[in-house]
Structure 1
Amino acid sequence: MNQPRKRAVVFAYHNVGVRCLKVLLAGGVDVALVVTHQDSATENIWFESVIQVCETEGIPYVTPEDGKSPDLLQAVQAARPDLMFSFYFRHMLPQAILDVAPAYNMHGSLLPAYRGRAPTNWAVLHGEHETGATLHEMTVKPDAGAIVAQQAVPILPDDTAFEVFGKVTVAAELALYRVLPDLLAGTAPRTPNDLTQGGYFGGRKPEDGRIDWTQPARAVYNLHRAVAPPYPGAFTDVGPHRYVIERARLHHGSLPGLPAGLAVVDNAIFGVCGDGRALRIHSLLANGMRLSPAELQAQLAQTQA
């Protein structure tokens, strides 16, 4: 005799939300309600749309401004879910919602490492060689519940956070796909999430991309990789000009005698760092426009005059 389909309420946004929602549908889950955010023109340049999936599949959805609103709680209760999932939903969910049904969250790191906000960016910033995705039980304390499934992905030496996030999206899909049958059967494993390990990280702001050229080149390069476009980018101010690094690589040669900061050498742009090493900057932006080495050299000469 076939078991009745499990009903779920899904809190979802971003590419991870889209891919994991599709895994649930492919796995036979009856998605009774999706809770998401309104699509943003500034983000949908590279975010897929959960709303579009809902409209295509005929799934009811709501876009509350507050995760703690009584109306949202009533909508979740009315859906009568057996399970709940959160895939990159941005609002914290209160205990009253978590009490409705067992809830699971997908987090973009290998918990307990990099709990909190922007885990992919933080992992790249700290020069990690690996990250991934973790499905875990939801508690009011963020990223603290028992681990149900994990999938690791490599961070290559020149990967940007945007490139790594593409891998994390696939990792999230794989982790959920593998464990979903056991989760629906009630036999999924539970591994303690050791909060004495790893650490908690807060959100990042554009100002956090300011370059300190006294830092070693590897640290400056990791900052560039962590916030490279489509994130706001690592930047430096020289006189009235703000320069944003769009593309760069560590330079393996030497640039003796140059002070820390931007420089033009042999018609190439460099960022000289505190350890004497440098970044070779292949694309530098000012006011959103790419600068040639000659244009940058002229502007640097004006500020030094």
Structure 2
Amino acid sequence: MVTVAFFGTPPFALPSLTALLASSHDVVALVTQPDRRRGRGNRLLPSETKSLALAHGVTTLTPERLSDPQFLDALAAVAPDVGVVAAYGKILPDEVLTLPRCGLVNLHASLLPAYRGASPIQRAVQSGDAVTGITLMRVVAALDAGPILARVAHSIGPDDTAADVETALGRLGATLLLEHLDAFVAGDLTGEPQDEAAATYAPRLVKADGQVDWHQPAQAIHNHVRAMHPWPHAFTHLDGTRYVLRRTAVTTHPATGRPGQILECSGRLVVSAGAATVVEVLAIQPEGRAVMSAAAFLAGHALAAGATFTTRAPR
């Protein structure tokens, strides 16, 4: 029986952890991020993987620092054969990399060497890519640079959000992991080195990344809205109020205004974008309010054609 230490935090990691728990492998520890304040009421909540692990009686470790001697001793005590990483959220130091007997594998949500880094799904959607995928790789000290053990591609639909792609890749990753983990532990799967010349990077998103730049073409804005869901959301401002754009479409409405200018606000919310293109807002969320369709929003808000959404709130 292969003993596994699993490193993972967000919902993306759940299918893989669930699959391992249901398999013949023995998950001897979960390493996940400490409880954080989130959700309605800003309550202190465990990660989704921690809740699942506790329900199965798995030893759960939540170090603030991966170099903490107490954490390293606890991980060494369970003596894992292999470590499995799925969106843990921190770079693993050498002290962790040397603990599992056979090393560690990582499920990375891109077709490496493309989109190394913390936000590969969001950056692929934002770039308008039609295809992404999941890569199983051996973990090395350098960021997402280890040998590729296996990969599988996944098509991105024209209206798919980052959340949609994350769900699909999480499931694909679980299947890929179980197909190849035993061969890795047995030493029969060494992988292929990555092409460093082809490497691209996907920096971690911050809240400010959600700002809509109305000078961009409509397709780029639509891609941006899809990429920023579920966090940090694509947002804009009008008369000092912040609005989140939840769903958009590229439309053929005549482009006659400046970027961000509202061209139509009677039943439809149509906004001028860059390069003489137009975006239709299909769902919107005013600050502090629920998400609503554009029609419902317009029924309760008196907007004037010619008003202009801005990237930043006026100071």
TM (normalized to structure 1)?
0.89
Residue 169 of structure 1 deviates from its aligned partner by 0.8
Q: Which residue is equivalent to 2:18?
A: 22
2:12 is equivalent to residue 11 of structure 1: no
Q: Is the 8 A contact 2:261 2:307 kept in 1?
A: no
Q: How many residues align?
A: 296
2:255, 2:138 → 1: CA distance? 54
2:225 is equivalent to residue 224 of structure 1: yes
The aligned amino acid for 1:85 is V
What value does the CA root-mean-square deviation take over the aligned residues?
Answer: 2.4
1:38, 1:55 → 2: CA distance? 14
The aligned amino acid for 1:65 is E
**Shift in CA distance, 277/301, structure 1 to aligned 2, threshold 3 Å:** closer
Q: Which residue is equivalent to 1:240?
A: 240
**Shift in CA distance, 43/31, structure 1 to aligned 2, threshold 3 Å:** farther
Residue 208 of structure 1 deviates from its aligned partner by 1.1
Residue 238 of structure 1 deviates from its aligned partner by 2.7
**Shift in CA distance, 137/301, structure 1 to aligned 2, threshold 3 Å:** closer
Residue 145 of structure 1 deviates from its aligned partner by 0.5
Q: Is the 8 A contact 1:227 1:234 kept in 2?
A: yes
Residue 203 of structure 1 deviates from its aligned partner by 0.7
Q: Which residue is equivalent to 1:150?
A: 151
Q: Which residue is equivalent to 1:84?
A: 83
Residue 296 of structure 1 deviates from its aligned partner by 5.0
Q: Which residue is equivalent to 2:33?
A: 37
The aligned amino acid for 1:136 is M
Map 1:143-292 → 2, pairs under 5 A: 143-228=144-229, 230-251=230-251, 253-265=252-264, 266-289=266-289, 290=292, 292=297
SS of 2:196 mapped into structure 1: coil
Greater than 4 Å deviation, 4+ residue runs:
298-303
Q: Which residue is equivalent to 2:108?
A: 107
Q: Is the 8 A contact 1:250 1:278 kept in 2?
A: yes
SS of 2:52 mapped into structure 1: helix
Segment drifting more, 266-275 vs 138-147? 266-275
2:64, 2:308 → 1: CA distance? 48
Q: Which residue is equivalent to 1:49?
A: 48
The aligned amino acid for 1:171 is L
The aligned amino acid for 1:120 is I
Residue 89 of structure 1 deviates from its aligned partner by 0.8
Segment drifting more, 90-99 vs 264-273? 264-273
Residue 302 of structure 1 deviates from its aligned partner by 11
Unaligned 5+ segments in structure 2 are 310-315
2:298 is equivalent to residue 293 of structure 1: yes
Map 1:56-67 → 2, pairs under 5 A: 56-67=55-66
Q: Is the 8 A contact 1:134 1:149 kept in 2?
A: yes
Residue 136 of structure 1 deviates from its aligned partner by 0.8
The aligned amino acid for 1:74 is D
Deviation digits for residues 157-199 of structure 1 (CA, Å, limit 9, x no counterpart): 1111111111111121121122123224321241112221131
**Shift in CA distance, 20/256, structure 1 to aligned 2, threshold 3 Å:** closer
Q: Percent identity?
A: 29
2:158, 2:127 → 1: CA distance? 12
Unaligned 5+ segments in structure 1 are none
Q: Is the 8 A contact 2:261 2:308 kept in 1?
A: no
**Shift in CA distance, 111/301, structure 1 to aligned 2, threshold 3 Å:** closer
Residue 232 of structure 1 deviates from its aligned partner by 2.6
Q: Which residue is equivalent to 2:131?
A: 130
Q: Is the 8 A contact 1:235 1:244 kept in 2?
A: yes
